[in-house]
Structure 1
Amino acid sequence: MLWQGESVRKVTGGRRRPAQGKRRFEIGLAPADTHIGEDRTKIVRITGGNTKVRSMRAQYANVTKLSNGETKKVKIENVEENGANPNYVRRNLLTKGAIVRTEIGRARIMSRPGQDGIINAVLLE
């Protein structure tokens, strides 16, 4: 977990004396780390009682072909590139911007699987 409150240090290096300590709502949640595998989702409560669907594992992506606007549900084979972190390629982690190999070709993930619970991608031609 990551505390996302204000730093105790100023930009100059001086110490800031906080008026209050850490609060529960300032703590972030662990990343979803969406892998390739049999579909598995988790529903998470967020601020205001709303919910998010986290995709923990995903096997299929909705891939859109931009030339004609056609969308198909296709199987993801593996992760080929990931600009966020090269280590994610080795671990087969699915994040926004990752380029994956599918049954119909290479596609770039446009959605955020850990936030949306679904994988939408655009076919690279």
Structure 2
Amino acid sequence: MKFQGKSVRKYTGGRLIRQRGKKKYELGGEQANTHLGEPIRKTVKTLGGKLKVRLLRAQTAVVTDPATKTSKTVKIETVTGNPANTHYVRRNIVTKGSIIKTEIGSARVTNRPGQEGSINAVLIPGTA
């Protein structure tokens, strides 16, 4: 059995028996699975009354060029690589670490779009 949060085993290897079920606030949230399209954002309430902005769809990214140290908002053409899951490339899902093809070249996503509500990326040298 796999639980979210606390380990199922003690440090000795013995099994831990849960004393109670999960509380509502301990359950994991729904995946954002940010993909390409007309921008759609969803606001989610979190613990402590804070808000998270989930980016469900996006078509632009803020790309920084490390050589000139300038940032520019550019259109995303497609997702070309994703170390989190190879199937995400086919579905054009953007996560942290994804390689995206933009108008000015390929870039690596440096933030978590499903948690922050925007896509920030760094231009990969020699791909323009």
Tell me if both proteins adopt one fold, taking TM over 0.5 as the criterion: yes
- Cα drift, residue 110 of structure 1: 0.5
Residues 1:103 and 2:103 are matched in the alignment:
yes
**Mapping of 1:46-57 within 5 angstroms?**
46-57=46-57
Q: How many positions carry a matched residue from both structures?
A: 124
Task: Quote the residue 1:23 is aligned against.
Answer: 23
Distance 1:15 1:53, change over 3 A: same
Residue 8 of structure 1 and its aligned partner are, at CA, apart by 5.1
Q: Which residue of 2 aligns with 1:114?
A: 114
Partner residue of 1:78?
78
What displacement does 1:5 show? Answer: 3.9
Match of 1:124 in 2: 124
Tell me the equivalent position of 2:44: 44
Amino acid at match of 1:111: N
Instruction: Tell me, yes or no, if structure 1 residue 61 matches structure 2 residue 61.
Output: yes
Deviation at 1:9, TM superposition (A): 5.5
Q: CA–CA distance in 1 between the matches of 2:110 and 2:6?
A: 31
How far, CA to CA, are the matches of 1:96 and 1:6 in structure 2? 25
SS at match of 1:80: strand
Whether the aligned pair in 2 keeps the contact of 1:3 and 1:28 (CA below 8 Å) is: no
Q: What amino acid is aligned across from residue 55 of structure 2 in structure 1?
A: S
Measured in 1, the distance between the counterparts of 2:82 and 2:123 equals 16
After TM superposition, give the deviation of residue 19 of structure 1 in Å. Answer: 2.4
Q: What residue identity is the alignment partner of 2:76?
A: I
Any idea what the Cα deviations from partners look like across 1:4-36, whole Å, max 9, x if unmatched? 243556577754333222211110001100000
4+ runs deviating over 6 angstroms: none
TM-score normalised per structure 2: 0.88
- Secondary structure at 2:48's aligned position in 1? helix
> Residues of 2 paired with 1:49 and 1:3: CA distance?
25
> What root-mean-square deviation, in Å, do the aligned CA atoms of Structure 1 and Structure 2 show?
1.8
TM-score (normalizing by structure 1): 0.90
Sequence identity, in percent?
53
Specify every segment of 5 or more residues in structure 1 that has no aligned partner in the other structure, as ranges.
none
